[in-house]
Structure 1
């Protein structure tokens, strides 16, 4: 019976098709002409769009601007919402900080060889540090020519391609015509939308295994001339009471700001309300700050005034060094701190350190 019903449906479909042909002998011909005409118009439009878009550069769709803060709304996952800030911009290189409810990450991008390339990424990075000279696991994000069909590989089983040039996209921040980049892997499809002179405005992740599982991040606001606000804990020696005092200061960072000067000023400033002098004397300079993430080391190179102006006995000097170690170790998430003087191992009348010798961050005397 079921097969009979299916057969009847198929016959009715065929008869309906024949009936239309019999009644309108020129109908299909007209439709074919219209279809061909529409196809020609579509192809011509795509060609015109591609020709116009090919004049654009990949860099036009990425953010290389100082002091820009962007806020993205997220749906489908608790970590889909995030905020970004531009840490550093150097010619065609930019370092962007991404903050979501679970972590803070930094990404370094460069425009080179006609592509936006991600040079470096690092998670759990709650401090400000210039990683723009780092390169590892390069990945092309946007590739020229800017035209539909431009395709490239991302790893062994993932492809990325330009799938639209003037895609209309709606976000909480407004409506845009965007460059659509589609990344397809065995398990998912990701569509990223970039707008000229703004950067990314939307991302959409769809699982191939469960198409109902979609994660979307959409731009909801842009703030220009913004600061990245962060608290830094500074440590001060209270030698009379044989203790170390900590004080949190709120810093408003700007893109490309020299963090050495921030620490220099913070450690020189007297601790208000405690009648304590700064940890550093007025003429001390911080010459360099370097991280070794693999070994968990932060190395700070000071000018010789650190020792020349210290005027302290052994116990007080050790307390000052502990304050320096705690300040930098805390901020840069490292438990080992190397202190050098103008590129050479630390040396004073009381303390002599070997090459590579470090101070371990300790809170034993912190009150």
Structure 2
């Protein structure tokens, strides 16, 4: 009996110790989870996310150009390409998000096409958000304006909903701007006021559409079989985040036109390998696979094919000329030779709309 009591006491002691250890471990895990959550909430990634295949609609007051639609064309690890469409223009921007800083490094107005801008030389350096995400954190912009975090729990109401947001204040001698960032969404509201203006220009989040493409207008040209001219047809192409412009344009240039007097500019075996735009020279370089020079065709039709490709790319990229290469070498057939210094210009004189 004594042995039984001693055994029972030892077992109870073991159970109690185990229970205490489990409680401690559970407490530690909960504490770690809380710390991790807190750290995540304080990272710029949480308040400036890159959202693929998502349209953010902002309604504005105080200006006809305040209404805005935002879309991320390309996302590549720490950088993203964002387009902002207003009634006045569409702006393409390259945004870096690394080492606790979100900044715009490239910006281009009148940007209506869909192609990557990551290789463009930086023309802007504006820090939008910066860690630590704490009240009082302040930095100075290139143009001399001062930007600071003024609140980390501002209660903001928008047409899309109510949020707890980070308030960022930007001040100059003439004006003040308030930007509000909410977790998992990003910018939800902006207020811009010139000194003495009580109402200002207000832009607020009104709707979000997920799993949706961006539509871009393109004009596809087709060579005619008999006449020395071409036909064209306007299309609205859907692009999703990170979709290849080369694949999209190849597919449309391979499509047969809805008339029997013309043909597709590219046969099925012909593929665009790469597209490069030189903004300063207003020129696009297009590299094809070898099939474009391996299929024999008459000189008249080949000339119209090259002209149709040129007209299509000039219209899409809004440039002045096109350089064509094949597997990084010259375009060479029995009728034409185009080297790296040779370029083609658009010719729409005999083009007719289908």
Alpha-carbon distance between aligned partners in 1 of 2:250 and 2:345, rounded to the nearest angstrom: 21
Cα offset, 1:137, TM superposition: 2.2
User: Is 1:235–1:247's contact at 8 Å kept on the other side of the alignment?
Assistant: yes
Cα offset, 1:354, TM superposition: 3.0
What's the C-alpha RMSD, in Å, of the aligned pairs? 1.6
Residue 268 of structure 2 is matched in structure 1 by: 282
SS at match of 1:133: coil
2:322 paired with 1:315? no
* Structure 1 unaligned residues grouped into runs of 5+: 1-50
Alpha-carbon distance between aligned partners in 1 of 2:227 and 2:300, rounded to the nearest angstrom: 12
Which of 325, 339, 343 aligns to 1:354? It is 339
2:263 paired with 1:248? no
Alpha-carbon distance between aligned partners in 1 of 2:40 and 2:215, rounded to the nearest angstrom: 39
Alpha-carbon distance between aligned partners in 2 of 1:180 and 1:243, rounded to the nearest angstrom: 59
Which of 142, 159, 181 aligns to 1:194? It is 181
User: Matches of residues 316-355 of structure 1 in structure 2 within 5 Å?
Assistant: 316-355=301-340
Give a deviation string over 1:153-175, Cα, whole Å, max 9, x none: 10252111100101111111111
2:44 paired with 1:58? yes
User: Is 2:112–2:216's contact at 8 Å kept on the other side of the alignment?
Assistant: no
User: Matches of residues 12-51 of structure 1 in structure 2 within 5 Å?
Assistant: none
Cα offset, 1:282, TM superposition: 1.1
Residue 81 of structure 2 is matched in structure 1 by: 95
2:135 paired with 1:148? yes
SS at match of 1:359: coil
User: Is 1:59–1:115's contact at 8 Å kept on the other side of the alignment?
Assistant: no
Alpha-carbon distance between aligned partners in 2 of 1:295 and 1:55, rounded to the nearest angstrom: 45
Against the structure 1 CA distance between its residues 91 and 351, is the aligned structure 2 distance closer, same or farther, given a 3 Å change threshold?
same
Give a deviation string over 1:336-365, Cα, whole Å, max 9, x none: 111111111222111112322110112112
User: Is 2:321–2:343's contact at 8 Å kept on the other side of the alignment?
Assistant: yes
Alpha-carbon distance between aligned partners in 1 of 2:105 and 2:288, rounded to the nearest angstrom: 30
* Structure 2 unaligned residues grouped into runs of 5+: 1-36
The aligned length equals 315
User: Is 1:207–1:213's contact at 8 Å kept on the other side of the alignment?
Assistant: no
Cα offset, 1:100, TM superposition: 0.5
Which of 185, 192, 204 aligns to 1:205? It is 192
Alpha-carbon distance between aligned partners in 2 of 1:331 and 1:274, rounded to the nearest angstrom: 25
Alpha-carbon distance between aligned partners in 2 of 1:125 and 1:262, rounded to the nearest angstrom: 18
Cα offset, 1:136, TM superposition: 3.1
SS at match of 2:338: coil
Alpha-carbon distance between aligned partners in 2 of 1:336 and 1:185, rounded to the nearest angstrom: 42
2:228 paired with 1:238? no
Cα offset, 1:199, TM superposition: 0.6
SS at match of 2:264: coil
Alpha-carbon distance between aligned partners in 2 of 1:351 and 1:273, rounded to the nearest angstrom: 28
Alpha-carbon distance between aligned partners in 2 of 1:109 and 1:85, rounded to the nearest angstrom: 13
Residue 109 of structure 2 is matched in structure 1 by: 123
Cα offset, 1:231, TM superposition: 2.4
Alpha-carbon distance between aligned partners in 1 of 2:173 and 2:110, rounded to the nearest angstrom: 28
Residue 365 of structure 1 is matched in structure 2 by: 350
Residue 290 of structure 2 is matched in structure 1 by: 304
User: Is 1:239–1:319's contact at 8 Å kept on the other side of the alignment?
Assistant: no
Which of 153, 164, 167 aligns to 2:151? It is 164
Alpha-carbon distance between aligned partners in 2 of 1:156 and 1:76, rounded to the nearest angstrom: 25
Residue 245 of structure 2 is matched in structure 1 by: 259
Residue 208 of structure 2 is matched in structure 1 by: 222
SS at match of 1:316: helix
TM score, norm. by length of structure 1: 0.83
